[in-house]
Amino acid sequence: MTETATLSLTDVPQVYKRHVFACFQQRPPTHPRGSCGAAGAQPLWERLGKQIEATGQRDIVMTATGCMGFCQAGPIMVVYPEGVWYQPRTPEDVDEIVTTHLVGGTLVERLVIVPRI
Ligand code: FES
């Protein structure tokens, strides 16, 4: 007989302080769904990766993803564990998200989006 664990969601330790998922999906500019790549994601996510690395904090990481389903809102990224979705448009927006949210733990309200499913 095996024992059954009775852990709740909050009992499981977080591996990272912050984990960013950034959409790298690229579709042709004329594709009806649009894409984060067509909206200029690539240079923003390259900057995001460099800025995260520059923090020197190994518990803040980024993962490149494919489409997350909200293509018209692109370029989009989501930060866990909070589950906050952002739509940065400029390199300065990316820098602010890194400094204020990923490192500082405070929302960058002006860049938040709330995708609807
Ligand atoms: S292409 Fe980025 S969410 Fe769909």
* Domain layout of the chain by residue ranges: 15-113
113 lines ligand 1 (CB under 6 A): no
Please give the backbone phi and psi of residue 92, each rounded to the nearest 5 degrees, phi first: -65, -35
**CA 55 to ligand 1 center in whole angstroms:** 27
State the average pLDDT over residues 18-35. Answer: 96
- Percentage of the chain beyond pLDDT 70 is 97
State the average pLDDT over residues 4-29. Answer: 92
39 lines ligand 1 (CB under 6 A): no
Residue 5 has pLDDT above 90, yes or no: no
Fold of 15-113: Glutaredoxin (3.40.30)
CA distance 75 to 11: 33
25 lines ligand 1 (CB under 6 A): yes
State the average pLDDT over residues 47-60. Answer: 98
